[in-house]
Amino acid sequence: MDVLIEIERLTKRFGSFTAVDDVSFTVARGEVVGFLGPNGAGKSTTMRMVAGFMQPTAGTARICGHDVQDAAVAARRHLGFLPEGAPTYPEMTVEGFLSFCAAVRGFSGSDRRQVVHDAMTVTALEDVRLQPVETLSKGFKRRVGLAQALLHDPAVLVLDEPTDGLDPNQKHDVRRLIEMLSPKKAIVISTHILEEVGAICSRAIVISHGKVVADESAAALAARGPSLDQVFRDLTVAHAADMEPAA
């Protein structure tokens, strides 16, 4: 198994509050892992640490064998990260922003034009390439973020809510894109949209109050109960009840 993402005992505390609590998992090439959990469960915080944008309180993450803290540049070379929300530099045009990101990634001349062109093609952004990012709809902004993550054709993709704000047609297109990319990459998608799991994920990890409460194939998770909604509630609400201090 070609393991590309290794997460070992990752923990993040904000003061006395533990947002991510001893999370460990690995993701191999060819896997699309759905990282699920209710609002505030710790998904984005975990992803920011895996992407090297936030320092863990404890634990480590490696991308293609490179520690995201100790070998940050090497790790980021193999990583495409779609953060939550809209891309920065909203006053830049779509093409200008992607071209800037490509330059930061070390592309120049015709290579730079080519990677920007390819990323805009797969995310269907050509028609808005000259529009400032701030004037785009939410769905288009997400696609600019996705294009930025794909520019350097990384082996690892960490995507925080990639279909957030997209209409059903755009969701379909992004899911097909992830499916097309998946054989050659290790992909983690954070979401609280449960239909995403059945639609694109080979495996699901459920996190609740910062702790992993399930890690299994999407089919095994779905088979735990009458519906994925119910399984999700049982795992996350039951876990929340377990954590209540005794009266």
How far are the Cα atoms of 132, 133, 140 from residue 210, in angstroms, in the given order?
37, 33, 31
**Interacting residue with ligand ATP among 5, 7, 10, 19 (CB under 6 A):** 19
Distance between CA atoms of 197 and 104, rounded to whole angstroms? 33
Nearer to ligand ATP, 19 or 228 (CB): 19
List the interface residues with ligand ATP, window 83-142 (CB under 6 A): none
**Number of Cα atoms under 13 Å in the Cβ half of residue 104:** 11
Report, in Å, the least distance between residue 17 CB and ligand ATP: 6
Binders in 33-92 for ligand ATP, by CB under 6 A: 37, 39-45
Residues 144 and 97 sit within 8 Å (Cβ to Cβ): yes
Q: Which of residues 190-209 bind ligand ATP (CB under 6 A)?
A: 192
**At closest approach, how far in Å is the CB of 142 from ligand ATP?**
14
Q: What whole-number distance in Å separates Cα of residue 100 and Cα of residue 115?
A: 12
Distance in Å, CB of 190 to ligand ATP, minimum? 7
**Residue 145 touching ligand ATP (CB under 6 A):** no
Cβ distance 229 to 206 under 8 Å?
Answer: no
Q: Select 44 or 123, whichever has its Cβ closest to ligand ATP.
A: 44
Asked if residues 61 and 4 have their Cβ atoms less than 8 Å apart, the reply is no
Point out which residues bind ligand ATP (CB under 6 A).
14, 19, 37, 39-45, 192
